[in-house]
Each structure stands twice: as structure tokens, then as C-alpha cells.
Amino acid sequence: MTKPHFYITTAISYVNGPPHLGHAYETIGADVMARFKRLDGFDVYFLTGTDEHGQKVQKTAIAKGKTPQQFSDEIAALFIDMNKSLNISLDQFIRTTAQFHKDACQAIWNKMKEGGDIYLNKYAGWYSERDEAFYGEDELTTREDGKKIATSTGTEVHWLEEESYFFKLSEYTQKLLDYYEAHPEFIQPSFRKNEVVSFVKQGLKDLSISRTSFDWGVKVPNDDKHIMYVWVDALTNYISAIGYPGDKDGTFAKYWPADIHLIGKDIIRFHAVFWPAFLMSAGLPIPKRVFGHGFLLTRGEKMSKSLGNVVTPQALIDRFGVDQARYALMREVTFGQDGDISYELLGNRVNAELANNIGNLAQRTLSQIAKNCDGKVPQPGILEDVDHQLLDKAGQAMLIAVRGEFEKMQFSKAIEEIVQAANAANLYIDSQAPWTLKKTNLERMGTVLYVLAEVIRNLGLILQPVTPVAANKILDQVAVAADARDFSFIGAGYALQPGTALPAPQGVFPRYEAPSEEKIA
């Protein structure tokens, strides 16, 4: 049976500085989703990478006495390392300086040109290097020092006049509005959709898509004093990575259009307006969903070097462990909204939910099995209603609820469902008191511990996308075979074979002890 396909991408990060927690947050979100889909029976392709061209990178490199390529190589290596330390299950890490990517940019350019959507003219306008974007007068504010800044991003703009190729974005106003109307799920969360629709409704202006003032970019076909606007180049990564314009091994045909472009809220316009217009122009299908997540904040402010509140991905891993860091980030912040984080908030999640709830349930159950059942999967007697109820709540019903939340990328709510199932199991162990049954009713003790072992198996299975290493340790402890770890095994009753020897129990979610002088960030 062929599996349904699922293609998920993150934004590709600029290489003008090392990775920070905002990048890690997005990549973890995409990884959690990719792992979930794989375990849920999909053939997944997961793409991430780096966006290496543009004036900002060129300037930063030169300021450091390096060539843009050397500098990009160094920073890209840091992103690759970050992904390894975060246990990101990517299928490809794309770098926009790769030759195949540059070829793809020229191919899509030629297609848009053939369609009559590209023309040469002159551009004069306010440009922000930081945002790599032009702004209209009405989008600017004058700062106290007299400098003009883009109101929405606070970055400085300067007047730029140059010959430029333009894309006829104005011709796509109605086509895009029709597309949004026909595909209400295209832009998510829905409040982001409203922002995009009202922007497009004002009428789109043609877009300047080439530069002549610097040369760190992909050359425009047949006019190499121009390089492509970095966003034409960057967005094309989503198709170049899977084989566009050729498709030797059928990867492009298989995975395009993408199922989800996962990005931050600041770059929705590029993904939900420019990108579908480019694709329409080139005669290519439009991605199914663009999901804009919110920003991570500390004490209500955006993380930034100047505020000194930047938490590095590595600092979080060192403090909590990879699985715990992934869990706490996905749990603490509602995906789609901005969210405040601190070591204290994340540490509380780790302790309350992973250590005290799920970890403790596994520890209590497995140590009783080790002591009272000879370290083997216990033999159950006849199941009572209360047993069936728990097996459903922490089995099929949990899977269905978690899947529903994953469909909406509501990771925190999905985790909440798992925590609720573990809560129910903790209440069950307290009310059934297998330690008492040990003296009064050995058969019932066996049933209760068997039911709990099954629940632990289900919890181990469902936790794999978020806490992959610990979840697999849990599954090892209840002797689940490597080929019985996908979601089709959740709630499959009596999966554990009574009498199977189990390894000595080991804690998987230790308590987090805050350093005595805890500082937030």
C-alpha cells in the first residue's frame, strides 16, 4: 500500500548571525509535526536550511574580513549543528548557494518571464536592508534622530534608485483573493488570514525583483549585472530542494505542492502573497498551507541581543536536556501566538508534567512489576469497566484527540491530551492500589499492572514526536519491538505479551533542579 505524502518546510534562516531560540522553536515545531506524520503512516519529506544571499550577509561578511561564501559556510555549519543537537529528523538541509538551487531560480525566473510577468524598469523607493524589502511612504515613521524607519519592523530605510526588473504582482490581486476564498485553510491561524486579505484588497503594486547595487545573489538570466531579489531566490528553495525544474527521481511530482510551509508571523506576506503569485505565474501548484507561528518573548519583549535576553538553543539543552527542552517549548507556548518563556516557566512544565506525572507513573508501575511480577509483563485476569475506560482514554481516544490537535498544529493542546491521559492513569493506580492487592488479590494486581503497562506503552508511543529519545526508552522498558512503534499500535489491546521479561526500570524524566540563584533568561 502506498503511503500518503506529506511535505513540510521551515523558513530558511539568514546566515548573518548564529542560530537563536526563535530558529530552534520553529524547527522543533516542524520536527514534531514531521515525526507525528511519519508515525501516523505518512511518507514525509522534511526540509530546512539557510538563506545565504543578500546585501545583509555580504555586508556582515565583509565587515568581518571574510568572503560572503566563507562566512555563509561558517554560519550554515552552526545551523546544521543546532539541528543535530535538537534531534531534528530532517530529510534535507538546503543552502541557497548550492548550484542546483541557483539553476532552479533561473528556471522559475524564465517561466515567469515567458508568461509575460517580468519587465525592466527603474525603481526609486525606500528600502530596508534588514528586511530586504521596499516600503511605501505610508509605511514609514521618522525616528527621534531624524532617520526614517519602517513602522512595522522598526528598521532603518534609505532611498534607493536603480534599474530593476519588476514582477507584475498587480495582475494577481484578484487571482489571489479568489484563491484565498476558494482555499480557506491556506493561511493559518485564521486571524493571520484576515491580515493578508485586507493587505491584498488594497491592491497590489508590481514588485521589484532584481538589484544592481551589490552582487551576492543569483544572476538574472541573460543580464548578469542584475542579481535576483533575495526573496525570489529564497522562496524557490521549497521547489529546488525536491528537484525543480527537472525531476529525475520523481521527488518533485511526489511531494509538490507542499502540505505546510511553517514560518514566523513576520514573513507571512512573502509566503501567502508573493510566493503563490510567482507559482501561478510559473504554472505551478500552490502549497496547501502556510502556518505563521508567533514569536518567543522573554518578560514580554522580543528576544534581542541589545536587550540581553537572548537564550541560545544550546543553553536550553544544557539546562533541561533535549527532550525536555523540546517538550517545554511546544507545551508552554500556544502555537500561532506569541509566548513568554523563562527558565522558570519551562522548568515548571518539565517537573509538573514530565517528572511528576508521566515519569512518576512509569516509575511506579514498572518498579512494582519488577518487584511483584518477577520483572515480567504480568498476566491479566478479566478486565473490569474501569480498566476498559482507562485503556480507551489512554489509548484510541487519546490518539484521536491528539491527532485532531496536530492537524491544527496545536501542539500544546495535543500534549495536554497526553497529560490528561497520564493523569487518569495516576488516579487509576491510586484507586486500584496494586500494592494492597498484592496482599489480597494477586490476580487483580496482575490485571491492574497489565493495564498500566499497556497505558505506558501507549504513552511511550504517542510521546515519540515530542520527546523522541525518552519515549523510546519508555518503549524499551516495556519491551516493545522496534517494528511495533508506529501509531497503528496505539490502543491495540493486549499488545504486550504476558510473561515477557522486562529490563530493570530506569527513570526517564528526572526532576529539574533550578540553580540556586535562578535568573530568568
Binding region for ligand MSP (CB under 6 A): 11-14, 22-23, 25-26, 51, 234-235, 237, 263-264, 266-267, 295-296, 302-303
Please, which residue, 236 or 447, has the CB nearer to ligand MSP? 236
Nearer residue to ligand MSP within complex by CB, 6 or 25:
25
Q: How far is the CB of 21 from ligand MSP (least distance, A)?
A: 7
In contact, 264 and 293? CB cutoff 8 Å: yes
- Shortest-Cβ-distance residue relative to ligand MSP: 264
Closer to ligand MSP by Cβ: residue 309 or 348: 309
Residue 431, helix vs strand vs coil: helix
Give the three-class secondary structure for 14: strand
Q: Which of 109, 146, 105, 153 is nearest to 129 (CA)?
A: 153
Find, among 28, 62, 68, the residue nearest to 46 by Cα.
Answer: 28
CB of 71 to ligand MSP, least distance (A): 15
Q: CA 264 → CA 13, 29, 205, 242, 335, distances in Å?
A: 11, 11, 24, 22, 10
End-to-end CA distance of the chain: 49
CB 512, min distance to ligand MSP, A: 23
- Which is nearer to ligand MSP, 215 or 266 (by Cβ)? 266
Which residue, 51 or 259, is less far from ligand MSP as judged by CB?
51
The minimum distance between CB 23 and ligand MSP, in angstroms, equals 5
Nearer to ligand MSP, 75 or 429 (CB): 75
**How many alpha carbons fall within 13 Å on the CB side of residue 180?**
23
287, 257 Cβ separation under 8 angstroms: yes
Closest contact distance (angstroms) between CB of 15 and ligand MSP is 8
Reading the block at residue 318, the C-alpha cell is 544544557
- 87: three-class secondary structure by DSSP: coil
Q: At its nearest, how many Å lie between ligand MSP and the CB of residue 26? A: 5
Task: Find the helix or strand (DSSP H, E) in which 415 lies.
Answer: helix 411-432
Q: In whole angstroms, how close is the CB of 262 to ligand MSP at the nearest point?
A: 8
Other beta carbons within 10 Å of 70: 12
Dihedral (Cα; 284, 286, 287, 289), 10-degree rounding: 180
Q: Report which residue type is found at 311.
A: V
Between 229 and 509, name the residue whose CB sits nearer to ligand MSP.
229
- The span from the CA of 260 to the CA of 263, in Å, is 9
Least separation in angstroms between residue 268's CB and ligand MSP is: 9
Question: Cα(170)–Cα(145) distance, rounded to whole angstroms?
Answer: 35
Q: Which residues pair with 5 in a beta bridge?
A: 43
The nearer residue to ligand MSP, 25 or 327, going by C-beta atoms, is 25
